[in-house]
Amino acid sequence: MSALRVENISKIFPAVNKSAAVQALQNVSLDVNTNEFVSILGHSGCGKTTLLNLIAGFEKPSSGRIECAGKEVKEPGAERAMVFQDYALFPWLTVRDNIAFGLNLKKMDSGLINQKVEHFANLVGLGAFVESYPHQLSGGMRQRVSIARALAVDPTVLLMDEPFAALDAQNRAMMQQEMIRILAEESKTVVLVTHSIEESINLSDVIIVMTRRPGRVKEIIRVPEPRRMVEDTPSYLEVRKRIRDLISDEHDLSDIA
């Protein structure tokens, strides 16, 4: 069953001052099944984040149609929650109140809100930090709060825009393992934008490789043994090489300073 459908999406950003119009995406189509983890890879500027923003409803497509849970996406909605690279937490709110933010917007009963906050704070390993403020937390802990806040509203699709890119290598690897653990407990459809081939292999059921601008779907790769592949085994190396080759085919000498 399809949780998300993108049909022939194109996006053109109009000319601004002396800058020419830019076509970011061209005829992009994809289906994301319920409880499937999909990663989107490609060169910088290929339209990965633009596509995610269109799915989130932050931008409107120039042409084409996006459906989430059978309804056309025309604006942001709670069925599509975003986890940003820079955490996007409210610094004046505690962990508890950050997680509860979307629930309060839905005007849920306060008792139920408290139950959900406790559940998701514990799920991401921050049950002991619910009264802390973002500035008192490490980068990895802040991103856990962001994930808990997104999951708390029970979205149909969880959107993640390079959520671990700001972390060092050790914390990034740890957060990938945390995501695997969290999603094993809370089944969820996920669309992740990432620059990391290894991250996409470690987390995904499906990897979508984009062409350079205007971004199009170049190839869709289904990962064997999702979230159970061991690095440096023949099957892992084969998938990694295939993705590297696809991205290298899009190489442009203008990338080299």
> What phi and psi values does residue 148 have, to the nearest 5 degrees?
-60, -45
- CB 69 within 8 Å of CB 87: no
- CB 194 within 8 Å of CB 26: no
Q: What is the DSSP letter of 215?
A: B
The closest of 245, 53, 85 to 165, measured between CA atoms, is: 85
Q: What is the pLDDT of residue 252?
A: 56
Q: What is the pLDDT of residue 223?
A: 95
Report strand pairing: 80-83 vs 71-72. unpaired
Q: What is the pLDDT of residue 208?
A: 97
| Mean per-residue pLDDT pooled into runs of 10, the chain (257 residues) | 92 85 94 96 91 96 94 93 90 96 89 94 94 94 94 95 88 90 92 95 96 94 91 92 89 43
Q: Residue holding tokens 């109009």?
A: 14
Helices H / strands E in the chain, number of each: 7, 10
Q: Is the dihedral of CA 247, 43, 197, 223 positive or negative?
A: negative
Taking the C-alpha atoms of residue 125 and residue 58, their distance in angstroms, rounded to an integer, is: 30
pTM summary value: 0.92
C-alpha neighbours within 13 Å on the C-beta side of residue 101: 18
Taking the C-alpha atoms of residue 181 and residue 147, their distance in angstroms, rounded to an integer, is: 13
